[in-house]
């Protein structure tokens, strides 16, 4: 069973009052045993069996990245609503097909960028909308951790969609899109590739957005843990030192606001991003708010990710 499902998603599901863990599917005996220990009422040995269960309303897909498309489409065909781990798709074409199938079957599809639902991110979006730091001019974000190279890991397999861009760089790209809502005009990425695994293990990305806004993103499997986001405006700067994984600090997020004179204010926000993500997802299902615009944004995110990967491989500017 995927670690994120075991340690984050299922515990959050047990806390929420909006849903219950009805079933888990795993082809391994270890995964099946873990499912029982975590309180799953039913345990299936195949994904097909789970999708045939008429009592299941929605499924969570934490499979390797390269398998997302197949199982999102299968789940949609079975009329199950879907929360799929990030990144939803590795290409825009795949995302378009997934969204199309979900719309055709009347099911809601969401990408599990849980950090968005933490109150610190909601607060930053509000501050930007209010123009607190003036017109945004520059955006910077980074995400890194030290990879355990001796441990078998799907993140090290290029056939499964491995590499640091698809694992953690996608957070930086999503934050850029989520917070600023502006389309990049060009992307240039350069990185380091592992000689044995043939995956990107570190990268730096420069982007030029609409209105002349510049952005720099950095992500790596070779540096100690760090997850930050900074937004620079004409009248100040907003910094999130725990942008993507506030759960690692007990759910505590911090917003640092620095004005043009250098005076700094700090705001602290508490919340479980995995639980909050589930609450929002369930709210969408209750109101049947299968937001077509939100699902269309999934395609834009995949297009941005695909362009970044192409630039990283070619070390050339990609125009969007």
Active site amino acids: 86
Give the Cα separation of 304 and 89 in Å (integer). 11
Rounded Cα gap, residues 84 and 88, in angstroms:
6
For helices 170-180 and 119-129, angle between their N-to-C axes, nearest 10 degrees: 40
Residue 21 CB: number of other CB atoms within 10 A? 17
In this structure, what DSSP letter does residue 126 have? H
* C-alpha to C-alpha distance for 136 and 114, rounded to whole angstroms: 24
Mapped onto helix, strand or coil, the DSSP state of residue 273 is helix
Distance from the first to the final alpha carbon of the chain = 38
Measured CA distances, 257 to 228, 230, 262, 284 (Å) = 14, 10, 9, 32
| The CA-based dihedral angle spanning residues 33, 34, 38, 40, taken in that order and rounded to the nearest 10 degrees | -50
Distance from C-alpha of 236 to C-alpha of 264, rounded to nearest angstrom: 10
Q: What is the DSSP string of 176-237?
A: HHHHH---EEEEEEEEEE-TTT-SEEEEEEEEEEGGG-EEEEEEESEEEEEEEEEEEETTEE
CB 269 within 8 A of CB 123: yes
State the residue for tokens 């609450």.
Answer: 279
| Rounded (to 5) percent helix, strand, coil in the chain | 40, 30, 30
User: Which alpha helices (DSSP H) does 42-166 contain, by range?
Assistant: 47-51, 68-77, 92-104, 119-129, 164
**What is the SS3 assignment for 138?**
strand
Q: Is the Cβ–Cβ distance between 298 and 116 less than 8 Å?
A: no
């Amino acid at each position: 069973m995927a670690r994120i499902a075991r340690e984050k998603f299922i515990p959050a599901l047990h806390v929420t009052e909006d849903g219950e863990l009805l079933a888990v599917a795993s082809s391994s005996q270890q995964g099946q045993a873990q499912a029982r220990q975590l309180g799953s009422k039913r345990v299936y040995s195949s994904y097909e069996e789970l999708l045939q269960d008429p009592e299941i309303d929605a499924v969570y897909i934490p499979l390797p990245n390269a398998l997302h498309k197949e199982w999102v489409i299968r789940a949609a065909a079975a009329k199950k609503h879907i929360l799929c781990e990030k990144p939803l798709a590795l290409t825009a074409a795949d995302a378009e097909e997934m969204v199309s199938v979900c719309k055709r079957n009347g099911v809601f599809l969401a990408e599990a960028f849980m950090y968005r639902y933490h109150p610190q991110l909601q607060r930053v979006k509000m501050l930007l909308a209010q123009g607190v730091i003036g017109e945004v001019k520059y955006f910077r974000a980074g995400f890194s951790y030290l990879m355990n190279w001796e441990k078998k890991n799907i993140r090290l397999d290029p056939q499964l969609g491995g590499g640091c861009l698809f694992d953690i760089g996608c957070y930086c790209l999503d934050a850029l899109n989520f917070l600023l809502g502006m389309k990049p005009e060009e992307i240039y990425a350069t990185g380091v590739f592992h000689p044995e695994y043939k995956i990107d293990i570190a990268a730096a990305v420069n982007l030029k957005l609409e209105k002349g806004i510049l952005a720099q993103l950095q992500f790596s499997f070779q540096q100690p843990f760090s997850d930050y986001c900074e937004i620079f405006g004409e009248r100040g700067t907003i910094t999130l030192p725990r942008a993507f994984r506030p759960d690692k600090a007990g759910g505590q997020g911090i917003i640092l606001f620095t004005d043009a004179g250098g005076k700094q204010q700090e705001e602290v926000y508490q919340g479980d991003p995995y639980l909050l993500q589930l609450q929002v997802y369930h709210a969408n299902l209750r109101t049947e708010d299968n937001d077509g615009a939100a699902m269309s944004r999934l395609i834009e995110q995949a297009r941005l990710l695909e362009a970044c990967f192409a630039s990283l491989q070619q070390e050339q500017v990609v125009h969007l």
